[in-house]
Amino acid sequence: MLRRFLGFLRSLLRNGKSIVGLILISAFLVVAFGASLFTPYTPIGEDPLDRLAPAGSNVPPAWLRSLPTWLGGDPALSENMVIVQNPGSPRLIADGGEFKLETANPNLSVAPSDISYPYPLPLGYKRYGGEGSLNVTYTRKEGTTGGEVKAVIFKDFDFPYNGPPDSFYATISIQVNGSTTVSGVPPVDKLKVPVKVNVFLGLVDGRKFPIWPPVENIYYDVRMPRGFTKDKLTGAAGPIERPLFGATVFDSVTGTFINGGWVTSIKNELSTIRSTSQELVNPKSVFPFPNDPAPIVFSSTPSRYAYGIEIVFVDTKSTEDVSTTVIIDDFGLLLKGTSFGLLGASHRGWDLFAQLLYGTRTSLYLGISVAFFSVAIGLVVGLAAGYFGRIVDEVLMRTTDVLLVLPGLPLLIVLIAILGASIDNLILLLGLLGWMGFARMVRSQVLSIRERSYVEAAKAIGAGEFHIVIHHILPSVMSLVYISLATSVPGAVTAEAALSWLGFYDPMRMSWGRMLNEAVVEAGAITSWWWILPPGILISLLAASFILVGYALDEVLNPKLRLRK
């Protein structure tokens, strides 16, 4: 048995087609199993808003930057840049961190602390860096005078690209603690020293552009005010996860105090920078930020910039001891470039190369499962129809005929639309609708073998029907089985691609057909050739490799064919 198999393998390996096919298939298998080894990125995110997506929206591959223009290259493309290395625990350079401090007031002190933004982030939001925060404290003794005291904490960086980034992901969480007085009806804690906060992108010439409209006068202690236990807006105590420009602790719309500790920007929308020229014409009109930094800050030449926060303590009293602390956490900036990775990124910013690798997994899994499933059904039906004949044959073959004449793809689509598109349903349906041709082949083979003398002899000895089918008939149809296993994979793969293209894809898995659907139907990006071309090429490569192996098997197992040459 083993020797026969080895001989079979040897003659298979002597065949040029099968070598090419087998090499390709093994390459696909390696990619499918090791997809996570070849790319650090995931193909799809859990969050529909994809805030975690690694790249800008529908951006071309990074190597287009260095390609000459006449070949489609674009020197103005930029790449991803991580500006703040450890946003989770911002530190001054003096404390071994990366931020600079600019202040001249002896009443100010800046120190690292262990406090962190304490709430779990919602699904899809990622916390960069470690635990801890930076505390900016203003303290003044009774009798001295204050005024407006300013502290600027910032980081310089060089932007080496000739064009602006696609978008930036800027985050900050702030808490203000301080000595308070009780005022108002209902009674609330009012900060004795209100605070203004301005997160900005700065230019070389000293101009500062707020990323969000500056937060005016944080007047109220954002620790839990007396008499309020729940957030009036969300009904829950917790972080106020709103854009920073909405971080007025007093909500002017409802007239109530929003409760909770932290004001965070982590849920903030990204500022998109794409349409530079248009916005430059009238920067004032840009919605919703009248001073959108993007079009002005990122000009067309490499330059030096700063990312920082400006905190102004508005101290108007002079009679008592006051102290206010601003706790800064998650202070980060990530610039997403206008080009990304090997193959660019999808409209939601996901790495296309990763999608391609994980798509291999889906296609191979589906193709091979369907092949085994449909061949098994076809084998059983063909054996039964061919061996038992008569009424069994009649019933089985008429069923086969009916299934053969029904239009395959529409039937498949209707059934998948009703059952729901998951990969298991796809395998089930493709298997159930793909066995007919093979069953016919097996039946005709069995019909001719049934009449052979050795089957007669077995019958005469008194062998049972099951024994005859398994030991005398099955071995002679096994070559058909091998060939059909190889040749039914491509059909399944292309059928899956077609269904995914029409929108019936498994939402939990990335597949090649789905990539094309997302590119053309969802994103309308048919001109993004780096997105359109690779999936189709891989589909046909995979299909061709299985067909090649099938051909080779055919030649090896049916020696008659070899004589034709």
Residues that bind another protein (CB under 8 A): 398, 401-402, 404-411, 413-414, 417-418, 490, 494, 497-498, 501-502, 513, 516, 520, 526-527, 529, 532-533, 535-536, 539-540, 543-544, 547-548, 563-565
> Minimal distance in Å, beta carbon 552 to another protein?
12
Cα diameter, the chain: 120
Nearer to another protein, 418 or 461 (CB): 418
> Minimal distance in Å, beta carbon 166 to another protein?
22
Nearer to another protein, 124 or 408 (CB): 408
> Minimal distance in Å, beta carbon 163 to another protein?
23
> Minimal distance in Å, beta carbon 533 to another protein?
7
What six digits make up the tokens of 317?
Answer: 């009293």
Nearer to another protein, 234 or 540 (CB): 540
Nearer to another protein, 261 or 535 (CB): 535
> Minimal distance in Å, beta carbon 115 to another protein?
54
Nearest to 194 by CA among 175, 176, 174: 176
> Minimal distance in Å, beta carbon 402 to another protein?
5
> Minimal distance in Å, beta carbon 546 to another protein?
9
What six digits make up the tokens of 564?
Answer: 């034709």
Nearer to another protein, 222 or 549 (CB): 549
Nearer to another protein, 78 or 355 (CB): 355
Nearer to another protein, 469 or 519 (CB): 519
What six digits make up the tokens of 434?
Answer: 């793909």
Nearer to another protein, 23 or 414 (CB): 414
- Which alpha helices (H) appear in 274-351, and where do they start and end? 276-281, 293-297
Tell me how crowded residue 550 is: count the other CB atoms within 10 A of its CB. 22
Q: Which residues contact 89 (CB under 8 A, 6 or more apart)?
A: 97, 112, 116, 129, 130, 131, 132, 133, 134, 329
Q: Is the peptide bond before 186 cis (omega within 30 degrees of 0)?
A: yes
* 3-state SS, residue 516: helix
Backbone angles phi and psi of 121, in degrees to 5 = -75, 150
Which region holds residue 314: left if phi is over 0, alpha if psi is between -120 and 50, else beta? beta
Helix crossing, 423-432 with 408-419: angle to 10°? Answer: 140
> Minimal distance in Å, beta carbon 44 to another protein?
21
Residues shown for the chain: 565
Distance, in Å, from the CA atom of 404 to the CA atom of 397, rounded to the nearest integer, reads 10
CB of 190 within 8 A of CB of 329?
Answer: no
